[in-house]
A = this chain, B = another copy of it.
Amino acid sequence: MLRTNTCGELRIEHVGKSVTLCGWVQKTRKLGGATFIDLRDRYGITQLVFLGDDENSKTLGQEGFTREMVIKAHGTVVERESKNKNLPTGDIEIKLQNIEVLNKSITPPFTIEDETDGGDELRMKYRYLDLRRAIVRKNLELRHRLAIETRNYLDKLNFLEVETPVLIKSTPEGARDFVVPSRMNQNQFYALPQSPQTFKQLLMVSGFDRYYQIVKCFRDEDLRADRQPEFTQIDCEMSFVEQEDIIQTFEGLVKHLFKTVKNVDIAAMPRMTYADAMKYYGNDKPDTRFEMKFTELNDLVKNKGFKVFDDAEIVIGICAKGAAEYTRKQLDELTEWVKRPQIGATGLVYARHNSDGTLKSSVDKFYNEEELKKWSEALNSAPGDLILVLAGKEEKTRKAMSELRLEMGSRLGLRDKNKYSCLWVVDFPLLEWNEGDPNLLASLAGRWHAKHHPFTSPKPEDIALLKKSPGEVRANAYDMVINGVEVGGGSIRIHDKELQATMFDTLGFTKEEAQKQFGFLMHAFEFGAPPHGGIAFGFDRLCSLFGGAESIRDFIAFPKNNAGRDVMIDAPSEISEEQLKELSIETIIKTT
């Protein structure tokens, strides 16, 4: 090793030791005759000093040590006169005897500090410099720690990590596949997996019993903010289990991660049905760090002459604790906020529950205090609270109210990123009607789609509904939600060939299509498939949640931008005519 120690490990007990450190020059400063250098590596910062009281040091001091230069410094550990309590190495410094420049650095395009002057675009182009910032590197260290602890937990429970293939077969179900032209099989393509779903089920057929993998998956989506074309899952499957077993096992995993990585104890996680989540939060991934549940007000507010409510399919109220003091200006701004196209409400009705107990609404013309008291009772408001009401078409209104609830939660400081509220959402519908989704092929519009995926089992008592009322069938499916983020989800799978065939039929596959796409799986089920189920966690998202961040991007070493580009290496890019020819493909639109 070019060094004897890292820049993070020397302490007062090392005083007198002769050491060699390597690292980057964080900064230099002169004080009296002495020159100080903060030397940085992954492990910390150590102060180097030329005392300038001998010839040797003088020579050293004359070299220019610029930021981000890489040096190798040899000297003796000495006790500092003025200690730095903010630095683990702050009790000591290295009195230099010798210094060697290992590599120079031109001036970086932004400062390598926690607070940087680099914008997003610059940081991504020079990601290798951005990763030098302790704040970003710590995110990747957290990711490493989470991966290690995930493996430790699952290994102890006899899960086997099995690598499934990356070059697989394109399936039209779900989102768009990335495809890979095959040179050796002309006119044929591999696809990159959206998940190892079928392979993990086959491993259960193989009797592997407990499988996991931390695995890259791929989805060719129109990228919304904070989606990546390649992402990582903790992918798991178990045999001879029921829903409760999966829930217990993976609640255990998440508790283990919180305990070992963050030293946070998580209590038993509550369960909520999908129906309740939609009813009380308008959302299948409610943020339960705060209450502010929906209350349906139809019975109270209709037929009082207020046309907006009378015409609405649904009228929903929430009670924002302690927000009665909101000014007219704040309320107008909130009204504008809900009317933005992303939220889509037509207006906002409010009622202040004043500290003197009186009630005052924006629709006093139609509702007297008597009526408003009933609102207050329904919403359980107290003096000082603010009641907010939205009305309109049911689905749209629930969605808008969900957004408003989250916004009010944020504004009222109820969404503390250091507080964790975990929840299982269960009893999802098996199917949903898809009118058309820009991320699906056009040919998939106007059909029933699997809400999770086509291998999810319906609840046994609902199987009879599959033919006559597919929308009412509930699935043995479950999501883990933490702080309003869906971190994981899974289901008990179908292990019966006939039921799987019925499912494909319901999803609009012809027998031939089902056979072509999933024939191998259905055939596998004929050879003694065990009952099985599993779950997958979005690992990037889990990391960002543990890191207390909104965006997953800084928990991925080399992320892509919203156009799916890696701006650092400039990919994707054109390839040579020779490559195209070998693959027997041509691009339709030529650049000239």
Instruction: Give chain A's interface residues, CB within 8 Å of chain B.
Output: 1-3, 6, 22-24, 40-43, 68-70, 72, 102-106, 108, 126-129, 131-132, 137, 140-141, 143-144, 147-148, 151, 155, 160-170, 172, 176-192, 198-199, 202-203, 205-209, 216, 218, 220, 222-223, 229-230, 232, 239-242, 245, 441-443, 495-496, 520, 524-531, 556-558, 560, 563-566, 568-576, 578-579, 582-591
Give chain B residues whose Cβ lies under 8 Å from the Cβ of A147: 161
Counted per complex, copies of this chain come to 2
Report the separation of the CA atoms of residues A419 and B170 in the bound assembly, to the nearest whole angstrom.
44
Task: Identify 11 residue pairs between A and B in the complex whose beta-carbon atoms are under 8 Å apart, listed by A's number.
Answer: A105-B526, A126-B527, A128-B206, A131-B203, A166-B166, A166-B230, A167-B218, A168-B566, A181-B587, A188-B574, A441-B576
> Do B528 and A571 touch (CB < 8 A)?
no
> Do B587 and A587 touch (CB < 8 A)?
no
A181 to chain B, nearest CB (A): 7
> Do B182 and A530 touch (CB < 8 A)?
no
A55 to chain B, nearest CB (A): 28
Report the separation of the CA atoms of residues A583 and B220 in the bound assembly, to the nearest whole angstrom.
11
**A163-B232, A241-B2, A530-B102 given; A182·B564 CB < 8 A:** yes
A interface majority secondary structure: loop
A52 to chain B, nearest CB (A): 25
The 6 closest A-B pairs by CB, nearest first: A105-B528, A131-B206, A169-B571, A188-B572, A182-B572, A2-B240
Partner of A148, one of B3, B155, B230, B566: B155
Give chain B residues whose Cβ lies under 8 Å from the Cβ of A132: 206-207
Give chain B residues whose Cβ lies under 8 Å from the Cβ of A170: 573, 575, 579
Give chain B residues whose Cβ lies under 8 Å from the Cβ of A526: 105-106
> Do A160 and B144 touch (CB < 8 A)?
yes
Report the separation of the CA atoms of residues A151 and B207 in the bound assembly, to the nearest whole angstrom.
26
> Do A70 and B530 touch (CB < 8 A)?
yes
Give chain B residues whose Cβ lies under 8 Å from the Cβ of A527: 68, 105-106, 108, 126, 128-129
> Do B585 and A40 touch (CB < 8 A)?
no
Report the separation of the CA atoms of residues A464 and B210 in the bound assembly, to the nearest whole angstrom.
57
Give chain B residues whose Cβ lies under 8 Å from the Cβ of A106: 526-527
Give chain B residues whose Cβ lies under 8 Å from the Cβ of A207: 23-24, 40-42, 131-132, 137
Report the separation of the CA atoms of residues A22 and B528 in the bound assembly, to the nearest whole angstrom.
12
Interface centre among A177, A203, A530, A565 (most CB of B within 10 A): A530
Residue on B nearest A565 in the bound complex, by CB? B185
Residue on B nearest A223 in the bound complex, by CB? B184
A301 to chain B, nearest CB (A): 47
Sample of 20 more A-B contacts, CB < 8 Å, known A72-B240, A137-B206, A167-B178:
A1-B245, A6-B209, A105-B527, A128-B206, A140-B160, A151-B151, A165-B230, A167-B218, A169-B569, A169-B573, A170-B579, A178-B190, A179-B579, A180-B192, A189-B574, A202-B558, A203-B557, A441-B578, A584-B587, A585-B588
> Do A167 and B102 touch (CB < 8 A)?
no
Give chain B residues whose Cβ lies under 8 Å from the Cβ of A565: 185
A130 to chain B, nearest CB (A): 8
Give chain B residues whose Cβ lies under 8 Å from the Cβ of A209: 6, 41-43
Report the separation of the CA atoms of residues A549 and B198 in the bound assembly, to the nearest whole angstrom.
28
Give chain B residues whose Cβ lies under 8 Å from the Cβ of A230: 165-167
A197 to chain B, nearest CB (A): 12
> Do A557 and B163 touch (CB < 8 A)?
yes
A323 to chain B, nearest CB (A): 43
> Do B216 and A590 touch (CB < 8 A)?
no
Give chain B residues whose Cβ lies under 8 Å from the Cβ of A126: 527
> Do B180 and A178 touch (CB < 8 A)?
yes
> Do B131 and A572 touch (CB < 8 A)?
no
Report the separation of the CA atoms of residues A126 and B591 in the bound assembly, to the nearest whole angstrom.
45
> Do A583 and B2 touch (CB < 8 A)?
no
Give chain B residues whose Cβ lies under 8 Å from the Cβ of A579: 170, 176-177, 179, 441
A278 to chain B, nearest CB (A): 31
> Do B578 and A589 touch (CB < 8 A)?
no
Give chain B residues whose Cβ lies under 8 Å from the Cβ of A223: 184
